[in-house]
Chain A
Amino acid sequence: GENVEQHPSTLSVQEGDSAVIKCTYSDSASNYFPWYKQELGKRPQLIIDIRSNVGEKKDQRIAVTLNKTAKHFSLHITETQPEDSAVYFCAASISTNAGKSTFGDGTTLTVKP
């Protein structure tokens, strides 16, 4: 089955700096890669996603890049703010009717003011 590894497990940055979280996946058939943000005690919420026919996607301060050959994808957050502090999860899935996602173990991001 699919295996997703996420690094780093914790990340601390100064407000205004950039943060990068990386994930690798094992199943070359995976073609959908969402990122979720989970604030303490709350539900995971989708913040951005990318499909395998696209190499990069941006949404304001957030971007995701995908390298299908190397089987890795990354989340980039620019101009970080304290409210970006949360746990971020990556996931990989095969976009079929049996769309089971495999999640990474999460990265705890702390943005220091």
Chain B
Amino acid sequence: DSGVTQTPKHLITATGQRVTLRCSPRSGDLSVYWYQQSLDQGLQFLIQYYNGEERAKGNILERFSAQQFPDLHSELNLSSLELGDSALYFCASSRNTDTQYFGPGTRLTVL
């Protein structure tokens, strides 16, 4: 157990819908990262927050947005969902810089 929690574990929804994925970082970690992993694919970096502020952006679609709250938990919002958005979404956290600890992931299925 890495200490990073993600909810829900599984999410099944329909095209066009909107969902929110939640991540709680390890105690004391200020950085939160979001990744998308499609079937048999690598980890695609989406976005990073550090102490409430957006710090880095990757290949995140305009339909996706995220935020980090004062208690440091983070939410990833996915809207106008398409079939291709089906994937495992991982959140990771780190104390200052480098070592990232991953949560168990949320498996999103868009039907």
Contacts and interface: CB of A to CB of B under 8 A. Distances in A.
A100 B56 contact: yes
A103 B97 contact: no
Contact of B97 (A46, A96, A106): A96
Interface of A: 32, 34, 36, 42-46, 49, 89, 93, 95-106
A98 B31 CA distance: 8
Interface residues of B, number: 23
Contacts of A43: 2, 90, 102-105
A42 B104 CA distance: 7
Contact of B45 (A42, A95, A100): A100
Interface of B: 2, 31, 33, 42-43, 45, 48, 50, 55-56, 58, 90, 94, 96-105
A89 B43 CA distance: 9
A104 B96 contact: no
Given A43-B2, A43-B105, A98-B50, A49 B43 contact: no
B75 to A, nearest CB: 19
Contacts of B100: 34, 46, 101
Given A93-B98, A106-B42, 19 more contacts: A32-B98, A34-B98, A34-B99, A34-B100, A36-B102, A43-B105, A45-B2, A45-B102, A89-B42, A97-B96, A98-B55, A99-B97, A99-B98, A100-B33, A100-B48, A101-B33, A101-B98, A102-B45, A106-B43
A99 B96 contact: yes
A32 B104 CA distance: 24
A49 B103 contact: no
A93 B45 CA distance: 13
